[in-house]
Structure 1
């Protein structure tokens, strides 16, 4: 009776406090998580207990050394063989996965190197084109300079020939003048 009175009094006091909805939701979530955790723990303990019970029953049966126990022993040996095979295959699968990862890493490295090589080739090609264009401009300028020099030389040759012919000097008598006149008659463009 006193307990009921205390509980009722506590309920009345509890209802006097404002209840926050967020607090209730978070507390509910915590309690649900705790319940799920307890269920999982209970299931794991139940499974462990069942395994222990089965192993105990198998041990007792194997001690009987009859036809059923030999069949159970053969089945256990077969299970162990299959387990070893599974472990070996898992190890092989891990090795293959590691090899695959290594191959992917090498492919990525090669791809990066190929990209860098292409960038280098593009840069070298641009530099070569730039150099060729600069060389082309320089060669063009040299041709133009050579052409102007030839034109100037031709004009000078003609003027010098005109001076020699106009001076009424017999250039055929003087070997040095003869050589100069013959030299002046040569075309600059064919030299």
Structure 2
């Protein structure tokens, strides 16, 4: 790549290529350079990861060799490793418990959602029942009102008949009702139309 870059620079200085070709090649070189930089970065990361893995293997090998010696200095290492294993088991148990708690929480959320849906349906049923009950009550009120109006009409008719009977009795008795103030008040009151009141 460097050789190509040097050749292009030489060619440009010598004026052998035109300006347009030079721009195209420069863009190509820039994109190639960026690609190579990315590749180099990936190789560096891969190299670091492999180096870390190798160092871990070397440390484990050194620890195994030290433990095989079974002397006073290897006992604290063994104790520490046992403690690390114990801690790892404890962490695994806690992770399992956390997963179980998460599953229980998910179940509770599902049940809660189901109850919410059921509650919504029940509320809708209650609203529908209340609406029907109001409609039924309204129709009953209309029926009762119609009955009461019918009774009122009958009462007015009966009252009109009674008024006519009283008028006929008073007129038929040939009493001078205009001279008697109490009788005059009764006759004048009987003149009132019951349907206008």
> Which TM-score bucket, shorter chain as reference?
0.5 to 0.7
Query: What's the Cα RMSD here?
Result: 3.8
- Please report how far the alpha carbon of residue 129 of structure 1 lies from its aligned counterpart in structure 2 after TM superposition: 1.4
Matches for 1:24-173 after TM superposition, within 5 Å = 30-152=35-157
Q: Residues 41 and 6 of structure 1: is their aligned pair in 2 closer, same or farther, counting only changes over 3 Å?
A: closer
Query: Per-residue deviation at 1:28?
Result: 6.1
Offset, 1:81: 0.8
Change (3 A) 1:108 1:20: farther
Q: TM-score, normalised by structure 2?
A: 0.64
Q: Distance in 1 between matches of 2:18 and 2:78?
A: 65
After TM superposition, give the deviation of residue 27 of structure 1 in Å. 5.7
> In the alignment, what sits opposite 1:8?
7
> CA separation of 1:97/1:14 partners in 2, compared to 1, >3 Å: closer, same or farther?
farther
* Separation in 2, partners of 1:80, 1:125: 66
User: 1:126-170, CA deviations, whole angstroms, 9 ceiling, x for partnerless residues?
Assistant: 22212211221121112212332344456568889999xxxxxxx
In the aligned structure 2, how far is the partner of 1:118 from the partner of 1:24? Answer: 71
Query: 1-side partners of 2:152 and 2:103: how far apart?
Result: 72
TM-score (norm 1): 0.66
Give SS of 1:67's match.
Answer: coil
Runs of 4+ in 1 over 6 A off after TM superposition: 20-26, 156-163
Q: Where do 5+ consecutive residues of structure 1 fail to align?
A: 164-191
2: distance between equivalents of 1:59 and 1:43?
A: 24
